[in-house]
Amino acid sequence: MTRFVIDAPTMLHLVAEGIPVAAGHQLVAPQVLRSQALDLLFAAVRRGELTEREALAQHDAMTRVKIRSLGDRVSRQVAWAIAREHGLDSTADAEYLAVTRLQADLFVSVDPAARSRAEQVVPVGTVDQLAAV
């Protein structure tokens, strides 16, 4: 079993494109994932990129994705250390990397900036790997 950490843009990409996660893989993320994804959907509606109905449908689909959410003290402490050591602007970004370091095999993001940050810290995978058996 491969454990993947995904971020909010990747969660929305999986839902919007209907990309299934292959059996035998497990998704893991910080507890903030769903709230951040909802925020991205709201912003897309405000910019006119999605209708409210489309955004809420994606939100509904997102809630059906099986994902293990983590947010314990150790992962937050590791996030703090990663943010400090790598000059990140936010511990929120570092939480994904901390969860990857502690609980997963690979970090996956469709966001080039997130991938770039992660490559300095943890192993990085691809969306194609999520769907591969």
pLDDT tens for each residue of 88-116: 999 999 999 999 999 999 999 999 999 99
* Structure tokens belonging to residue 94: 């570092």
What is the average pLDDT value for the chain, to the nearest integer? 96
62 in any annotated domain = yes
pTM: predicted TM-score of the whole model, two decimal places: 0.94
48: region left, alpha or beta (phi > 0 left; psi from -120 to 50 alpha): left
pLDDT, residue 25, reads 97
Assess if residue 133 is contained within a domain. Answer: no
Q: Is the pLDDT of residue 133 over 90?
A: no
% pLDDT > 90, the chain: 95
What pLDDT digit, counting tens, does each position of 57-99 carry?
999 999 999 999 998 999 999 999 999 999 999 999 999 999 9
Residue 83 domain flag: yes
> Looking at residue 33, which CATH number applies to its domain?
3.40.50.1010
- Report the pLDDT averaged over residues 35-42: 98
Structure tokens at 59: 């939100």
Q: Exposed, middle or buried by CB within 10 Å (0-12, 13-18, 19+), for 45?
A: middle
At residue 68, the pLDDT reads 96
Mean per-residue pLDDT, 8-19 = 97
116 in any annotated domain: yes
Question: Which residues constitute the domain of residue 52?
Answer: 2-128
Residue 8 has a pLDDT of 98
Q: Is residue 14 in a domain?
A: yes
Q: Is residue 11 in some structural domain?
A: yes
Greatest pairwise CA separation for the chain in angstroms: 42
The count of domains in the chain is 1
How high is the pLDDT of residue 98? Answer: 98
Q: Residue 28 above 90 pLDDT?
A: yes
Residue 109 placed within a domain: yes
Note whether residue 107 is domain-resident. yes
